[in-house]
Amino acid sequence: MDRLLRGYGAAVYLFLFVPIAVVVVFSFNAGEHVAELTGFSLRWYVEAWTNPFIVEAFRTSITVALTSATISMFLGTAAALAMPSAPRRLRRTFDVMVNTALVVPGIVLGISLLIFIVTATNWLNSWIAYLVPSSDLRLGLGFASLVAAHSVFGTALVTILVRTRLASMDLRVIEASADLYAPPLRTVCTVTLPLLAPAIFAGFLLAFTFSFDDFIIAFFTRGRAETLPIYLFASIRRGVSPVVNATASSLLAMTVTCLAVAAVVFWRRGSNRTEKGIP
């Protein structure tokens, strides 16, 4: 039975990762045929990252990911610090909302955010037209809506990581700061935040990664903005080329690097504290 389960697990992992490995291998193909290896070459990487459309889509993805991850970092950290002192019923409601943002399928979240953003911007546009008739300002889907949509998921992610780290902290350190007559704001800035820094940074990296890789939510809320995953989707509809393989491999390398750094930062702090015997 154990061998059967191990074999089944191995088959699942092969099914998941072999196609990714094939894309990476063929991104170094010297020939122009996607399914035929003719040699090793970096030609397609050079061609991909000298393509102005790819570079522009990459720049948009980086800007959106950095902006949404920064917003998520501040909002998620503030929420994680505020919730322990909130009433029990409010805390439970907040937990449900945070977990819902992570559990709900991406397409459902994307459609709901699209409807909300369009409804809200139409309402605001009507007020802008009423208050300032001569103004040409009109709100709609675009960079701002894409950042806001990604911040919803990113804030939930950061909140969970920071709350997990906060739950494992030794609260006696914070109590000691209060016993030494430190004001609450100073305690937060000099004691709490430094102890939470690894989780905050890990949450920032994870929020950046998910925003940078996201396709479904961006597809519904981007307006005319074009991120790198959306550009790859449009390119694949015209046929898979070695340039697509090279771009996808670069995207994969960046994602794996961010996830690895986030994991190391989040867990290394805890292991160091355990080795030193600190609760």
Dist CA 160 CA 266 (whole Å)? 12
**Which residue, 278, 274, 246, 179, is CA-closest to 40?**
246
CB 113 within 8 A of CB 220: yes
Q: pLDDT tens track of the chain, all 279 residues?
A: 677 888 888 888 888 888 888 888 888 887 777 667 777 888 888 888 888 888 898 999 999 999 999 999 999 998 888 887 778 888 888 888 888 888 888 888 889 888 998 898 888 888 888 788 777 777 888 888 899 999 988 999 899 888 888 887 776 777 677 666 677 777 777 777 888 888 888 889 889 988 988 888 998 988 888 888 888 888 887 777 788 888 888 888 888 887 788 777 767 655 554 444 444
Give the residue carrying structure tokens 């003719």.
38
Give the residue carrying structure tokens 């006696």.
172
Dist CA 96 CA 109 (whole Å)? 15
Q: Tell me which amino acid residue 202 is.
A: A
Three-state DSSP state, 35: coil
Domain boundaries, the chain: 1-41, 50-275
**Which residue, 150, 234, 154, is CA-closest to 202?**
154
Reported as a single tens digit per residue, the pLDDT across 18-73 is: 888 888 888 888 777 766 777 788 888 888 888 888 889 899 999 999 999 999 99
Enter the tokens of residue 209: 């990664």
Which backbone phi and psi does 235 adopt, to 5 degrees?
-70, -40
Alpha helices (H) in the chain, listed in sequence order: 2-26, 43-48, 52-82, 88-103, 106-131, 143-167, 171-179, 184-187, 193-213, 216-221, 228-237, 242-275
What is the CATH superfamily name and number for domain 50-275? MetI-like (1.10.3720.10)
Give bridge partners of residue 40 from the DSSP assignment.
Answer: 29
Three-state DSSP state, 245: helix
Enter the tokens of residue 195: 């102890």
| pTM, rounded to two decimals | 0.82
Three-state DSSP state, 40: strand
